[in-house]
Amino acid sequence: MKSALITIGATREYIDPVRYISNESSGLQGMAIIEHLIKNKIKTVCLCGHISAEKIVSPYIKYINVTNAKDMLKAAKKYSSVDIAIFNAAVSDYRVKKISLTKIKKQENLVLSLIKNPDILLSISSMKKRPKIVVGFAYETNNYKTYAKKKLTDKNCDYLVLNYPYEDNKIFSNKKNNGLILDRNLKWTNIGNVTKKSFAKKIIQHIISNSND
């Protein structure tokens, strides 16, 4: 395994010049994954949304900053000829139909017309020349395994990393993560409630040890 593409952080879908729709994401887990890709000397392109985590500097990593889902998909298609693509970003499912060019003034009620964003994971996994291995992420608050199995199948993933809250750990902006990894044979591998660095290491080791390269 020599090359990788990873998406991290949160996309922002602007409503007007100052307001936007987004998802919760610090980029900590994405950076931890990048660290272990680099340790395995895998040349990596990172499509980076909004993050609070500090970027790792290395000759093995190239960052491309993206704002919204459409930009992220365009860049993902451009850099899709890789051995492994990991879709860790928290992508907004919707965007406003029309962005206001001026700041919207405060109103008693504000109605926004939303339209669906392109599905980046499905778009890349369905390409004729797709990455050799496609890894999706899912954060679920209930019916964890049911929803994860459906996403792996629907999105044509080779692996699906399932994250879910554990006791007082809601994952976001936390040093620890919690979850499992699911493969195409619907076999679960427990990662557990561990630090995000350990979580990342277990994911990369599991995929590398089960790949044919």
Which residues are designated catalytic? 23
Dihedral of the alpha carbons of 129, 135, 141, 147, in degrees to the nearest 10: 60
Angle (CA) 80-183-153 rounded to 5° is 75
Asked whether the beta carbons of 60 and 44 are under 8 A apart, the reply is: yes
CA distance 50 to 22: 9
Angle (CA) 48-191-137 rounded to 5° is 35
Measured in whole angstroms, the distance separating CA 44 from the mean position of its chain's CA atoms is 15
